[in-house]
Structure formats: structure tokens, C-alpha cells
């Protein structure tokens, strides 16, 4: 049973959060901010230090094994990747739901540009997060009534950017070792550099860190079976992303054209049908692997493809920058310096880095093909 002082602290926390929400957002947004404060408090109050779970005889041995692995990954993140050595991911909280929250993403009917919402810390982002799926669905219904395309997607983890101690959660603790490492590296990277209102920059940077981090993790702690499994996972993921990018571009071309709205709607339906057919072919090439079936089980619309560019457009530039800087500390300095530039300029620099790297790779490949004994 919680102590009276703990309950008083809880009441004071929620009251303060509610007042701040009202001041920041006004009455119209009060309910949204209050549910966010309650949800975050619930995570914080239910979390216990990992060592407490490990020392508790009642803790399931399988959970203990996963927490031990998470401790190892957390230490690796600091020592090998230069990620923050703070209290994040050193506590664990069990949740009675499959996701920590549900994000609502929306676009106009004939556009891939997501609607944005602005918040005091995160800045403007293209989603709204809810700790209750019912609340997320209710908000999604409001957006649909306005004629928007909408997606409600579950999220296993998120970052508070170092403002609070982000805990390990039951929603992702049972991921494979490589996927658990990837998630922790990604979320910690958001604490290194985060630019308000530039999701493309933030997500591509964190993805570059996770990719390189997992590669190093597997080199040190993986075995051949783990490395082969992760390589297959990455190949399928890249195939899937290529399929989405291809059809996203088809949609973008359709919406930018001069056809009537009726024709654009018809072409939109044809493109999404093509996306379904393309996935069936991909699945067959994977030997029937069905890991993306859940994505295609929904009625797809623009909102499902709106975030594809967020994670991928600038990623090649960050990969090139990491190769150029050679070490994570120098890489982080370069990214911080870039983050101070105007949005267009930093995006242009990353695109230029990607182009330069692509040219170098092409030259290297051509030179290798000319080597004596090369197989044509």
C-alpha cells in the first residue's frame, strides 16, 4: 500500500501538471495535456530500479534474463556509443497493455503532408499521442469527420528527451536482443540532439545511431545465428520501406497533377491496390514471412505513408556523416553544429553528403570491376 506522503506527492504532481496544461494550452487542450500528465506519472510511479527487480525472488526468471540483457545494452550505449549516462532505462515498469501509447497521424484526403500539433517541449510534430487507445480512436474519429485520412498506431516506447527518467517497459523488453538494443540506442540518441519542429532531422539522426550501434553490438555480443537473423530482418525491412517509398511517390505525383478530384481519388484507390499486390509479391519472395501483415490488415490511406519520409529522407546523409567523422563523439559534435543551421540549410547539407557518398561508392565499384580477374 502506498504511503500517505506518496499519495500527497501524486496529488500535487497531477495538480501542478493540470495547472501547467491549462496555462500552456487553454481550456480546449486541457483534457489532452492532463491525460498526458497522468499517463507519464503512471509510468514514473510504477517503475522500479532494475536491480530491485533482479533481487526480488518473485520476479519471473525470463524477465530477469531480459533485464540483465537490458543492463548490458545500457552500459554498452554509454561506453561504446557515447550516449547519455543518466537514469533513463535503468528502471522497469510493467504495463497491462500492448503499447505504452497510441499515436494519431492525419493528412488531408489528397495530400501526404501530415497535420501538425505543437507542444511546449517537443515543438511541432506530426502526431498526437494518447495513453488510452479509446481516447486515440475518439480523436481519430473527429479528424475523419473533417474529411482527413487517419491512422492510429501503437507505440512501444518514446523519449522524454532527458527531462524525465524513461523506463524500460513490458511493451518492448521481450524484443530480440538486437531489436531491444536498437530501440534503446534510438531513444537515447534523441537525448543527444533534438531540434524542435524538425522530425525528419531528429528521426533520421536517431536511426543512424541505432543502425551503427546495433552493428557494433552484434560484432561484440552476437553470434553467427544472431547476425544472420538480423541481416534477414534488415533486408526485409528495407524491401518493405522501398515498397512504401515507391507508392508514396506515386501518390505524391498523383496529388500534384492537374486531374480532377474525382480522377485523383480513382488513381489513389488504384495506387493503394497496387501497394497490396506489391506486398503479396514481397511476401512470396520472403518465403511467406508475415511480419508486416498487421500493417496491411488495416484500410490503408495517406496517413499510413505520411511518416515514411520522416525516417528515411535524411538517413543517407547521416550515414555519410558518421563515416566521415569516424567516431561517435565527433559525429555528435558535427550533428549539434548542423542543428544550429536553418532547416533548409541543414537538410541541404545532409543531401549533399549523401550525394557525395553515393558518387564515391559508384567510383569504387567501377574501379573494382576494372581490376584484373573481376567477374563481369
Q: Tell me the C-alpha distance between 300 and 277, whole Å.
A: 13
Q: Tell me the C-alpha distance between 166 and 163, whole Å.
A: 9
Phi, psi of 155 (to 5 degrees): -125, 125
HSE value, Cβ hemisphere, 13 Å, CA-based, for 271: 24
Q: For cell 526485409, what's the residue?
A: 236
Q: Tell me the C-alpha distance between 7 and 251, whole Å.
A: 52
The whole-number pLDDT of residue 373 equals 59
Tell whether pTM > 0.75.
yes
The whole-number pLDDT of residue 313 equals 87
Instruction: Output the nine-digit C-alpha cell for 9.
Output: 506527492
Q: Tell me the C-alpha distance between 318 and 328, whole Å.
A: 12
Classify 175 as helix, strand or coil.
coil
Q: Tell me the C-alpha distance between 171 and 193, whole Å.
A: 25
The whole-number pLDDT of residue 162 equals 86
204 neighbors 312 (Cβ within 8 angstroms): yes
Classify 357 as helix, strand or coil.
helix
78 phi-psi bin (left φ>0, alpha ψ -120 to 50, beta other): alpha
298 phi-psi bin (left φ>0, alpha ψ -120 to 50, beta other): beta
Q: How many residues does the chain have?
A: 376
Domain boundaries of the chain, sorted by first residue? 1-46, 230-370
Q: Tell me the C-alpha distance between 114 and 149, whole Å.
A: 9
Instruction: Output the nine-digit C-alpha cell for 147.
Output: 474529411
What is the 8-class DSSP label of residue 314?
T
The number of beta carbons lying within 10 Å of the beta carbon of residue 263 is: 12
Q: Tell me the C-alpha distance between 342 and 339, whole Å.
A: 8
The whole-number pLDDT of residue 320 equals 97
| Chain-centre distance for alpha carbon 98 | 17
Q: Tell me the C-alpha distance between 135 and 33, whole Å.
A: 12
| Chain-centre distance for alpha carbon 362 | 30
Residues contacting 292, CB < 8 A, separation 6+: 236, 240, 279, 283
Q: Tell me the C-alpha distance between 322 and 200, whole Å.
A: 17
Phi, psi of 39 (to 5 degrees): -65, -45
The whole-number pLDDT of residue 1 equals 34
The whole-number pLDDT of residue 374 equals 55
49 phi-psi bin (left φ>0, alpha ψ -120 to 50, beta other): beta
Q: Tell me the C-alpha distance between 337 and 299, whole Å.
A: 42
**CA torsion, ordered 21, 23, 27, 32, to nearest 10 deg:** -20
> Which residues in the chain show pLDDT less than 70?
1-28, 121, 363-376
Amino acid at each position: 500500500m502506498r504511503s500517505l506522503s506518496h499519495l500527497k506527492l501524486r496529488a500535487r504532481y497531477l495538480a501542478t501538471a493540470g495547472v501547467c496544461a491549462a496555462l500552456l494550452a487553454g481550456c480546449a487542450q486541457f483534457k489532452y495535456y492532463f491525460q498526458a500528465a497522468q499517463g507519464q506519472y503512471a509510468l514514473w510511479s510504477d517503475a522500479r530500479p532494475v536491480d530491485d527487480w533482479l533481487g526480488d525472488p518473485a520476479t519471473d526468471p525470463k524477465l530477469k534474463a531480459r533485464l540483465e540483457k537490458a543492463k548490458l545494452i545500457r552500459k554498452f550505449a554509454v561506453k561504446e556509443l557515447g550516449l547519455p549516462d543518466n537514469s533513463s532505462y535503468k528502471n522497469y515498469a510493467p504495463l497491462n497493455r500492448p503499447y505504452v501509447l497510441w499515436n494519431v497521424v492525419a493528412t488531408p484526403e489528397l495530400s501526404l503532408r501530415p497535420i501538425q500539433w505543437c507542444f511546449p517541449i517537443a515543438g511541432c510534430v506530426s502526431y498526437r499521442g494518447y495513453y488510452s487507445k479509446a481516447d486515440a480512436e475518439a480523436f481519430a474519429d473527429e479528424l475523419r469527420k473533417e474529411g482527413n485520412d487517419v491512422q492510429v498506431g501503437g507505440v512501444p516506447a518514446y523519449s522524454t528527451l532527458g527531462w524525465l527518467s524513461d523506463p524500460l517497459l513490458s511493451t518492448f523488453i521481450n524484443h530480440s536482443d538486437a531489436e531491444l538494443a536498437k530501440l534503446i540506442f534510438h531513444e537515447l540518441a534523441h537525448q543527444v540532439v533534438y531540434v524542435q519542429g524538425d522530425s525528419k532531422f531528429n528521426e533520421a539522426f536517431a536511426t543512424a545511431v541505432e543502425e551503427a550501434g546495433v552493428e557494433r553490438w552484434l560484432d561484440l555480443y552476437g553470434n553467427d545465428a544472431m547476425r544472420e537473423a538480423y541481416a534477414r530482418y534488415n533486408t526485409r525491412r528495407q524491401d518493405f520501406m522501398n515498397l512504401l517509398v515507391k507508392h508514396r511517390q506515386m501518390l505524391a505525383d498523383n496529388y500534384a497533377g492537374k486531374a480532377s478530384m474525382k480522377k485523383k481519388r480513382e488513381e489513389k484507390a488504384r495506387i493503394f491496390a497496387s501497394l497490396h499486390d506489391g506486398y503479396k509479391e514481397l511476401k512470396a519472395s520472403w518465403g511467406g514471412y508475415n511480419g508486416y501483415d498487421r500493417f496491411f490488415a488495416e484500410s490503408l490511406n495517406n496517413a499510413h505513408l505520411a511518416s515514411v519520409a520522416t525516417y528515411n529522407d535524411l538517413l543517407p546523409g547521416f550515414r555519410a556523416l558518421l563515416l566521415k567523422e569516424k567516431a561517435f563523439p565527433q559525429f555528435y559534435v558535427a550533428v549539434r553544429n548542423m542543428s544550429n543551421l536553418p532547416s533548409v540549410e541543414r537538410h541541404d547539407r545532409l543531401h549533399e553528403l549523401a550525394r557525395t557518398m553515393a558518387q564515391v561508392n559508384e567510383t569504387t565499384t567501377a574501379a573494382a570491376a576494372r581490376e584484373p580477374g573481376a567477374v563481369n
